Structures are given as C-alpha cells and as structure tokens.
Amino acid sequence: MEKIVFYERLQHERDKFENLLNRVGFSRRLTMKGVFGNLSIKDLLADVLSREQFIADRLSEIVNGEAYAPSASFTALENFQQRNSYPDYESNLLEKDKPNHLVIYKFKNIGMDEIVEQELATYMSIVDLFQQLTYNQCIDHDLFHRIAEHTYKPYRRTSTEINRWLKEIASESK
C-alpha cells in the first residue's frame, strides 16, 4: 500500500467518526451511560484517545530511532501502563478489542471538552509523525496495519456501538 492511499483511508475513516460524534450532538448525550454496557460516548472516546496515544508514541519512537517491544510478562505489562498511563495494546497479554476500564477510570473526572481536545491533538500528532516516515519505515514496522489497529478500527468499533445505541434510544422514544 502506498502512503498516500493509506493516509486517504485514515482521513476518510476519521471524517466518518467525527461526523457521527457531531451528529450525536450536545454534551448531555455524550456523557449518558448505556452506549456500551455502562459506558458513555465520553468513556469510549477516552478509550480511543488512549489507543491513539499508544500509536503516536510508537511512531515517535520510530522517528527518533528508539526501539519498542511488546510486554511479554504481566509485570512488564503493569510497568508499561504505570509508566505511560495507557496499556501496552500490542502485548499478547492484553485483550485488545474491549475498552480498557483503567483508562476509562483515569478519564472519569476529566471533562468531555478536554478529552476531545487531547484526542484531536493526538490524532494530529499521528498524522504529523506518519508524514515524517518513509515508505520503507512504514513497511519495516508494519505501520499501515498498526496505525489502523489503533485509529480507524477503534473508530469503527465505537461508531458501531454509538449507532446501535442511537437506534435503541430512538425506538424507545416512539
């Protein structure tokens, strides 16, 4: 895959995600529980933010010539999360497709506006770092797959839950 093709796909998926969040609208709906279990859209967005921060930090390491290795023990996994304030999403010891409750708890008392601001800044960091990388670096580090895993695949999962919830509350109000 060419970098420009991947970048266009990433932007397309991002636009769809942002359009959905804009459609949901005002803050009260964004913090209502029940979107996914007992979680709100704010909680799910905090989870997306942590996944984006994970890949932004890995991209920064690549740009700076630093090495990353997924946590291979539970002690290393715990140490990683303490050091970075988010899980090691590429460790085989972690369930990857479910929201991480430690992350959600961390953002519990942070306002929706601040989460949105951090998430936008992190996404822009991903884009900026990606643009600094060569095609060969992208191939060598499997970045097309890895970036997708931590950006638009979580957008899709979150969007599915939000759309399901919107249909559910729409049918309840009839």
Q: What would the pLDDT profile of 61-108 be if each residue is shown by its tens digit? A: 999 999 999 999 999 999 999 999 999 999 999 888 888 888 999 999
Pairwise CA distance, residues 52 & 54, whole Å:
5
How many other C-beta atoms are found inside a 10 Å radius of the C-beta of residue 10?
A: 20
How many other C-beta atoms are found inside a 10 Å radius of the C-beta of residue 97?
A: 8
> What is the structure's pLDDT at 89?
96
| Whether pLDDT at 172 is above 90 | no
DSSP 97: S
Pairwise CA distance, residues 53 & 126, whole Å:
8
pLDDT band at 34 (very low <50, low <70, confident <90, very high): confident
pLDDT band at 52 (very low <50, low <70, confident <90, very high): very high
Question: Which of 10 and 36 is assigned the larger pLDDT?
Answer: 10
For the stretch 117-150, pLDDT in tens is 999 999 999 999 999 999 999 999 999 999 999 9
pTM for this entry: 0.92
| Superfamily for the 3-65+101-172 domain | dinb family like domain (1.20.120.450)
> What is the structure's pLDDT at 147?
97
pLDDT band at 28 (very low <50, low <70, confident <90, very high): low
Phi-psi bin for 14: left (phi > 0), alpha (psi -120 to 50), beta? alpha
> What is the structure's pLDDT at 100?
85
Domain ranges of the chain: 3-65+101-172
